[in-house]
Amino acid sequence: MLQSVNLRDYMLPNPVKVRPDDNIMDAMKVIIENKISGVCVVDMEMNLVGVLSEMDCLRAVLSAIYNNTGIGVVQDHMARDNLLIAHPDEDIVNVAQDMLQKNKRRRPVVENGKLIGQITCRQLLSAVMKFRK
């Protein structure tokens, strides 16, 4: 059975990230090449300013096709309001429960306003496997 542990021990310490002014096509390439479902969006000081998902990218592409416009940049399509974040000292069980409750696959980990990591369903599953051994 999974015991409560510190999130810092299981987070990805250097998550894939993009900048707000990156082109959506470039961000899509990052998502595809890294085989992930989304990326954190940070400014030059590593402050988390948004999250961009595969669905956001798909929405951007379809909008550009339907409206016959350019695809735009990350900041035009990222989620930026009410971002769900975690602190590295949170309990991994509480974070996992909240992720399930809110139906979110990933959560940026922020300390002192800076992005320092990310926790995903995959890391949570890895934590469970380590405790089973």
| pLDDT at site 133 | 60
Residue type, 22: D
Q: What integer pLDDT is reported at residue 5 of this predicted model?
A: 81
| DSSP-assigned beta bridge partners for residue 79 | 51
Homologous superfamily (CATH) of 7-132 is CBS-domain (3.10.580.10)
d(CA 112, CA 100): 25
Question: What is the Cα–Cα distance from 116 to 74, expressed in whole angstroms?
Answer: 20
20 by Cβ neighbours in 10 Å (0-12 / 13-18 / 19+) ranks as middle
Q: Which pLDDT tens digits describe the chain residue by residue (133 residues)?
A: 555 688 998 999 999 999 999 999 999 999 999 999 899 999 999 999 999 999 999 999 999 999 888 899 999 999 999 899 999 999 988 999 999 999 988 899 999 989 999 999 888 888 888 776 6
- pLDDT at position 3 is 57
